[in-house]
Amino acid sequence: MKSRVVIIGAGGRLGAALMREYRKNFDVTGFNHAQLDLADLDQVREKLNRSEFDILVNTAAFTNVDLCEKESKQAFKINAEAPQALAEVCRDKSAKLIHFSTDYVFDGEKREPYGENDEAHPISVYGESKREGEKLVLQTQDRHLVVRVSWVFGPDRPSFIDDMIMRAGVSEHVDAVSDKFSTPTYTRDIAAMLLPIISRAVVTGVADPGRTAVSERGYNAESGYNGILHFANEGECSWQEYAQHAIDCGREFGLPLKAKTVGALKLSDMKNWVARRPVYSVLSSAKYRALSGVSPRSWRDAVSEYVREFVAVS
Ligand SMILES: NC(=O)c1ccc[n+]([C@@H]2O[C@H](COP(=O)([O-])OP(=O)(O)OC[C@H]3O[C@@H](n4cnc5c(N)ncnc54)[C@H](OP(=O)(O)O)[C@@H]3O)[C@@H](O)[C@H]2O)c1
């Protein structure tokens, strides 16, 4: 029996990648923004109550960090109230919610990778609204899973890498922030990391909504795949190092780039940023490694593969 998976945010960077990666293994349905607006909670409940699924993956979010400062009510609606509604729908259907969150729930004061037990202390409206969403999801049903990711890139929507390579193609001078650190993480690798969690429902899935014993659906509390889990490629870097590696890869794979070396900017130079951002937000994947026995590859290898397959071909 194939697991029935619904993906919300199917038009976004991560959601579109999960749709593509999971189509072959699962019975997947996606909702993009036009098909399901998380700001309309009645519509969300009504549409999802009519759908049959074992797992709901929410990748949709109000992700514009600066705009969240100005539109905080909307940020909390999309990033906190809507995930709570999703969690309730899933609870009532005996389905599992996998809800994506962010490294921006941390204040960035630490200088070693954040674990799941580190206290979240957001410093922006975006971070606060995402943290509130995490809490509401897990309060609603403790078998749900919150997955925090950082600096996400992939072929379905341009991100920092694409911007840096595009700039390096037209200018000899490219700069990036050198005093802010995290880990670039590839959507393809997030999909691979999530796979064993979703697959559990395929192995042991028994559709029996009349019973509440979650073990029968294959993702019980003992599995450990509930609560909060950090997903990141291995290693850490500044945006300057990230940009430098992307440009080095572009050159290696034959892109005609004018810029060779990425210059350093300070976080304090970013005068047009409205929201505060954590200086250090590396996520430790140690818990995931212990649960799955699988180690994510390094961010450098992931960026290299992405540039070779998706950027250097155009
Ligand atoms: N990108 C990163 O670097 C990063 C870092 C840490 C955590 N995350 C988290 O990872 C998850 C996936 O992010 P992503 O990179 O895929 O972001 P993304 O490309 O911005 O995708 C977010 C999706 O949410 C949709 N959306 C926005 N408002 C909506 C609404 N009211 N109703 C329904 N859909 C709505 C967007 O649709 P439209 O574009 O059509 O509005 C978009 O398809 C999010 O939870 C994000 O917070 C991302």
Instruction: Dump pLDDT digits (tens) for 236-260.
Output: 999 999 999 999 999 999 999 999 9
For residue 314, the model assigns a pLDDT of 63
Q: CA 101, CA 205: separation in Å to the nearest integer?
A: 26
Give the atom of ligand 1 at the shortest distance from the alpha carbon of 64.
20
Instruction: Dump pLDDT digits (tens) for 272-313.
Output: 999 999 999 999 999 999 999 999 999 999 999 999 999 998
Instruction: Report whether pLDDT(201) > 70.
Output: no
What is the DSSP-derived secondary structure letter of residue 155? T
Instruction: Dump pLDDT digits (tens) for 91-144.
Output: 999 999 999 999 999 999 999 999 999 999 999 999 999 999 999 999 999 889
Ligand 1 pocket test: which of 6, 7, 14 has the largest number of ligand atoms within 8 Å of its C-beta? 14
Encoded tokens for 187? 């959507």
Instruction: Dump pLDDT digits (tens) for 15-69.
Output: 999 999 999 989 999 999 999 999 999 999 999 999 999 999 999 999 999 999 9
From the CB of 152, is ligand 1 less than 6 Å away? yes
Residue 234, beta-bridge partner list: 298
What are φ and ψ of residue 287, in 5° steps? -65, -45
For residue 63, the model assigns a pLDDT of 98
pTM (predicted TM-score): 0.94
According to DSSP, the β-strands at 237-238 and 181-182 are: antiparallel
Among protein residues, the one with the nearest Cα to ligand 1's atom 5 is: 150
Contact 171, 288 (CB under 8 A): no
